[in-house]
Chains A and B, each alone.
Chain A
Amino acid sequence: MSNITWSSNYALSDIQPVRNGSMNLLKSLEMFRAVAEHESFTRAADALSLAQPPISRGVADLEKHLGVRLFDRSSRRIRLTAAGRAVLPDVLEILRRIDGLAETAGRRDRGLVIGVSGQLDPSVLIAATRELRLAGAPPRFAPAQAAELDDLIGAGEIDAGLDVRGLGAPAATSRRRQVSDLVVDLVVASPRFAPHSEPSSISAADLRGMPPGMGFGRHAERESVTLLPEDAGLLHDSGLLTPLVARGVHLGQLRVADSEFDAVTHVFAHESVLLCTPQTARTHSLPHRSLRDVELARRVEVVGSESCDLAGLMETTPALRAAIAEILGARAHRGHAVVEGGDGRYADERLFRP
Chain B
Amino acid sequence: MSETAVIDEINGVWTSLGAQGFLYAEHLGTHRSLGIRESARIPLASVGKVAVIAGLLDAAADGTVDLAQRLLVDPAHSTPGGTGIAGLLDPVEMSVRDLAAMALSVSDNAAADTLFDLVGPDRIMAVLHRGGIRSFEVTSPMSHLYDVLAEVAAGDEAQALAVAAADARSGRVPLLPDSAFNTGTVRATAKLFELIHTGQLLGPEGSETLRRLLRKQIFRHRIAAGFPMDAVQYYGKTGTFLNFRHEAGVVVDSDGSAYSIAVFTRSSIATFSQPELDASIGYCARLAIEHLRTLG
Q: Which residues of A contact B (CB under 8 A)?
A: 203, 205, 208, 210-211, 214, 216-218, 245-248, 250, 341, 345-346, 353-354
Contacts and interface: CB of A to CB of B under 8 A. Distances in A.
Contacts of A210: 283, 286-287
A162 B229 CA distance: 38
A205 B231 contact: yes
Given A217-B12, A246-B229, 6 more contacts: A211-B225, A216-B16, A216-B280, A246-B230, A250-B228, A345-B230
Contact of B218 (A214, A346, A354): A354
Interface in B194-252: 218, 220, 225-232
Contact of A211 (B16, B253, B282): B282
Given A248-B229, A346-B230, A205 B254 contact: yes
A248 B280 contact: no
Given A211-B283, A214-B283, A216-B283, A247 B229 contact: yes
A211 B286 contact: yes
Nearest to A218: B9
B255 interface: yes
Contacts of A353: 218, 220
B67 interface: no
- Chain B: interface residue count, which band? 20 to 34
Instruction: Determine which residue in B220, B227, B230, B286 has the highest number of CB atoms from chain A within 10 A of its CB, and name it.
Output: B230
B255 A203 contact: yes
B47 interface: no
A208 B9 CA distance: 19
Contacts of A216: 13, 16, 280, 283
A250 B16 CA distance: 25
A248 to B, nearest CB: 4
Contacts of A211: 225-228, 282-283, 286
Contacts of B226: 211
6 smallest A-B Cβ distances: which pairs?
A: A248-B229, A246-B230, A247-B231, A205-B254, A214-B283, A246-B231
Contacts of A205: 231, 253-255
A99 to B, nearest CB: 65
B232 A248 contact: yes
Interface string B256-294: 000000000000000000000001101100110000000
Interface string B13-39: 100100000000000000000000000
Contacts of A203: 254-255
Contacts of B229: 208, 245-248
Contacts of A250: 228
A248 B234 CA distance: 14
B83 to A, nearest CB: 12
A211 B280 CA distance: 11
A341 B232 CA distance: 12
8 contacts: A208-B229, A211-B227, A211-B286, A218-B9, A248-B229, A248-B232, A353-B218, A353-B220
A29 B109 CA distance: 109
Interface string B45-74: 000000000000000000000000000000
B108 to A, nearest CB: 15
Contacts of B231: 205, 246-248
A338 B129 CA distance: 47
Given A211-B225, A211-B226, A247 B286 contact: no
Contacts of B228: 211, 248, 250
Contacts of A245: 229-230
A346 B230 CA distance: 7
Nearest to B279: A214
Contacts of A248: 227-229, 231-232, 254
A200 B180 CA distance: 56
Contacts of B254: 203, 205, 247-248
B208 to A, nearest CB: 16
Contacts of B253: 205
Nearest to A242: B230
B230 A341 contact: yes
A104 B293 CA distance: 65
A341 B231 CA distance: 9
A78 B231 CA distance: 84
A199 B280 CA distance: 33
Contacts of B230: 245-247, 341, 345-346
A3 B31 CA distance: 111
A246 B16 CA distance: 31
Nearest to A208: B229
A345 B134 CA distance: 36
A345 B218 CA distance: 17
A250 B228 CA distance: 9
Nearest to B284: A216
